[in-house]
Amino acid sequence: MSRPSASDTLAGRFVHTAKSRWSQFCMADSTGRELTYGRALVGSLLLARAIAHRAPNQRHVGLLLPSSVGGALANIAASIAGKVPVNLNFTAGREAMDTAVARCGIATILTSRTFLGKAGLQPMDGMVFLEDVLTETSAVAKLLVLVAARILPASLLQSIFLTEPDAEGLATVIFSSGSTGVPKGVMLSHANILANVDSARRAIRLTNADVMLGVLPFFHAFGYTGTLWLPLIIGFGVAYHPNPTDAKTIGEMAERYRATLLISTPTFCGTYTRICKPEQFASLRFAIVGAERLRPGTAAAFKERFGHDLVEGYGCTEMSPVVAVNVPDLDAHDNTADLPRGSVGRALPGIEAKVVDIVSGEGPLVDIEGLLLVRGLNAMAGYLGDAERTRSVFRDGWYVTGDIATIDAAGHIRITDRLSRFSKIAGEMVPHMKVEEQLQSLLPDSASCVVTSVPDSDRGERLVAFYTDPTITPAELWKKLGRTTLPKLWVPKREDLRFVDAIPTLGTGKTDLRAVRDLAAALSEESEPV
């Protein structure tokens, strides 16, 4: 895959798409707002002027908005204005947002009073409200921009309204969820995201008849690339709803806009299976899930209710983010064969993947478990203000994912564990995900579990497992685990099997492993003898 030209940017691609699809449906949200591509172009050009006026000489601009028409327009406008939009993770708490603001040197935050009220968020320094910006824009300015956007060719619009383009320049900074540690500021360039969009376009034949159901937040890499820029650049519609757990509204939006594409998590899709009606998802072509392991029961229930398979995908923020999706090879002579279950698919066109020995780094390994490395034009520009950490995650141009995987002779990738999710117990490396799989097999599909570890004075570490099935006691679960094929060393102690009402999760639906670890540590301290 060729590298995007030096003048190829997200905003530039959007301008060309909007001009060519002026009257076509572009975006809508659950508030009832609905825009064509022409109206989205005019709105983003007007908002870009306001951003440029209010944030002169500022490189980064904070955005504190939900997945909505307003949130999408704000991101487009910031890009048109030559700014680097940083979507703040409002689900992570005030401290995490303050950290992102400080590290990016953000002085202006575009938000909405309505959103702040609904989300229960307190005002922050430098906030500019969309409501004020809209009322301050004169009717004459609106008319002039409308006329210019309608009659001028895309190339001239770019030269008038867009700052000097630079494909290698930053498109955004996304702060990782921090599920296993301190969030990192991942710098993604226009070239990174455009390369990923082009890879996805080649792997899944998308057309302007498609409609994305946008339920992921823009502060998440899959939301930013997959549900924001992917539709805008390729030229199809998107329907937004900011709460991915609100299955009732999501079902209604899917039916109203005849959604054909969904990117979500297995947990969220499990909720949709229980609440949404079959006819609401009748138009789906692909329902792609990631961020957590897809359990067979969840996949079977979704298939039975909606008649569609849940397709597993894999990615990481550092890769802009999509690496692989388990869809048929559309260029093959025979793409009708069953796709391998448990696989996240082959690497997308333009992306390479290999597995190497965890210790020696030798490879590539075929059908042998090892460390997954990937590379492509979508690999990040680096971590914000951390050149040393950036160097540490690259080996000869390959990004070290930290995931344990296998790749078969046909290129199908299977993620088997996370390198950071091993515990060294009595000198042996014990994989958390293997223990979780065994635990999950003893629980109903409606329940979930997670395994973590705490320090242990005798064996270095010991496992702690949380589960959500109230019908089984820890003692009963411990007995059942003892009768499985798990090595005895891998079975948590009876007192370290703990029932909880819910497993901690992040705003993206992913298990909050850091919160799980903190909970285990706190409970461990409480149980220690005084």
CATH number of the domain residue 212 falls in = 3.40.50.12780
pLDDT in tens, 373-429: 999 999 999 999 999 999 999 999 999 998 999 999 999 999 987 777 888 787 777
Q: Where are the alpha helices (DSSP H) in 276-404?
A: 296-306, 387-392
| pLDDT for res 328 | 78
Which residues, in sequence order, are CB contacts of 143 under 8 Å at separation 6+?
none
Neighbours of 11 (CB within 10 A): 27
Confidence of residue 78 (pLDDT cuts 50, 70, 90): very high
User: What CA–CA distances, in Å, run from 410 to 212, 326, 368, 376, 414?
Assistant: 30, 12, 14, 19, 12
Task: Count how many Cα atoms sit within 13 Å of the Cα of residue 173 in the half-sphere of its side chain.
Answer: 26
Asked if omega into 321 is within 30° of 0 (cis), the reply is yes
What sign does the dihedral 61-64-66-70 (CA atoms) show?
negative
CATH number of the domain residue 508 falls in = 3.30.300.30
Tokens of 149: 């956007």
On whether both 20 and 83 belong to a single domain, the answer is yes
Give φ, ψ of 196 to 5 degrees: -70, -40
| pLDDT for res 154 | 94
2 assigned to some structural domain: no
Percent of the chain with pLDDT over 90: 74
Strand boundaries in 326-421, DSSP class E: 346-347, 351-356, 370-376, 382-383, 394-395, 398-407, 413-418
Lowest mean pLDDT among 251-255, 267-271, 367-371: 267-271
242 assigned to some structural domain: yes
Which residues, in sequence order, are CB contacts of 106 under 8 Å at separation 6+?
58, 60, 61, 62, 86, 100, 126
Q: Is the pLDDT of residue 145 over 50?
A: yes
pLDDT in tens, 419-455: 778 887 877 778 898 899 899 999 998 899 999 999 8
**Residue that has been written with the tokens 């959500």 in this structure:** 468
Confidence of residue 247 (pLDDT cuts 50, 70, 90): very high
4 assigned to some structural domain: no
| pLDDT for res 4 | 52
Give φ, ψ of 330 to 5 degrees: -70, -15
pLDDT in tens, 264-279: 988 899 999 999 999 9
Confidence of residue 1 (pLDDT cuts 50, 70, 90): low
329 assigned to some structural domain: no
Apex CA 489: angle with CA 483 and CA 494, to 5°?
65
187 assigned to some structural domain: yes
Give φ, ψ of 54 to 5 degrees: -85, -15
Q: Is the pLDDT of residue 530 over 50?
A: no
Q: How many residues does the chain have?
A: 530
Mean pLDDT score of the chain: 91
Whether 470 contacts 499, CB under 8 Å: yes
448 assigned to some structural domain: yes
pLDDT in tens, 169-193: 999 999 975 544 567 899 999 999 9
Range of the domain at 494: 426-527
On whether both 464 and 496 belong to a single domain, the answer is yes
User: What CA–CA distances, in Å, run from 456 to 381, 459, 478, 524?
Assistant: 39, 6, 19, 10
On whether both 457 and 367 belong to a single domain, the answer is no
Q: Report how far Cα 50 is from the mean position of its chain's Cα atoms.
A: 29
Nearest to 115, CA basis, from 107, 103, 106, 124: 124
On whether both 399 and 500 belong to a single domain, the answer is no
pLDDT (average), residues 459-468: 92
131 assigned to some structural domain: yes
Confidence of residue 336 (pLDDT cuts 50, 70, 90): very low
pLDDT in tens, 99-125: 999 999 999 999 999 999 999 999 999
On whether both 487 and 350 belong to a single domain, the answer is no
On whether both 39 and 104 belong to a single domain, the answer is yes
| pLDDT for res 420 | 74
Number of domains in the chain: 2
On whether both 66 and 187 belong to a single domain, the answer is yes
Nearest to 238, CA basis, from 217, 212, 265: 212
On whether both 305 and 445 belong to a single domain, the answer is no
On whether both 67 and 150 belong to a single domain, the answer is yes
Which H or E element spans position 23? none
Longest CA–CA separation in the chain, Å: 78
On whether both 224 and 148 belong to a single domain, the answer is yes
Which residues, in sequence order, are CB contacts of 136 under 8 Å at separation 6+?
50
372 assigned to some structural domain: yes
Whether 43 contacts 142, CB under 8 Å: no
| pLDDT for res 440 | 92
